[in-house]
Amino acid sequence: MCPKIVQVVPTEEHMVYIYFEDGKIVCYDVTPLLDKEAFAVLREVEYFIKTCTIMNDTLAWDVSGNRDNTACIDIDPDTLYELEAVKEKIA
């Protein structure tokens, strides 16, 4: 079981900084997924940033706008935790 995600910070480059409760920080690049139909809605940067959140205990996008855990796009938290740790870029 990977540590809990405590914060997500999206960027205009379709990247998301993910902060885990154990202090690990990773950066997830969503760009490769944007060509897939399920992720097409996230191509618009404003929407990508506005809907980025934590749902189902992982990085997610609240595409329904009403915090419905069954109507979101989310990424497997184990996949995220396996990414190489990065230094915090946000000042």
Whether the full predicted model's pTM is greater than 0.85, yes or no, is: yes
Domains of the chain with bracketed CATH: 5-81 (3.30.2020)
Order the strands of the 52-55 sheet from edge to edge: 52-55, 58-61, 73-74
As a whole number of Å, the end-to-end CA separation of the chain is 30
Give the pLDDT confidence of 22-78 residue by residue, as tens digits.
999 999 999 999 999 999 999 999 999 999 999 999 999 999 999 999 889 999 999
